[in-house]
Amino acid sequence: MTTKALLEGGPDDLAGTTVTIVPPGQELKIPHTGGYEHYKVTSRHEDTEEGRMIVFQWWERTEVAE
């Protein structure tokens, strides 16, 4: 099953964007500018132009070791 999630918080260029998650999980780890942005699932949903989506809230960033 393919599900889309709405990102809330975090870097300005990610906040408010949608991502595809397969299968739906409790956390998302998104590669972004030399690191990863981490999002956790919430109990909230939001209606968007693409349909109803579950909201994932940003909670931390980790850096990629060089």
pLDDT digits (tens, 9 = 90+) for 6-63: 999 999 999 999 999 877 678 999 999 999 999 999 999 999 998 999 999 999 999 9
**How many CB atoms are located within 10 Å of the residue 7 CB?**
21
Residue 66 CA to residue 2 CA, distance in Å, equals 33
- Tell how many helices (H) and how many strands (E) occur in the chain: 0, 5
pLDDT at 25: 76
Q: Comparing 64 with 55, which gets the higher pLDDT?
A: 55
- Is the Cα torsion angle 51, 41, 59, 19 positive or negative in sign? negative
Per-residue confidence band for 1, with pLDDT thresholds at 50, 70 and 90:
low
pTM strictly above 0.75: yes
Q: Give residue 53's domain range.
A: 3-63
| Residue 24 · residue 1 · CB < 8 Å | yes
- pLDDT score, position 41: 94
Residue type for position 14: L
Domain count, the chain: 1
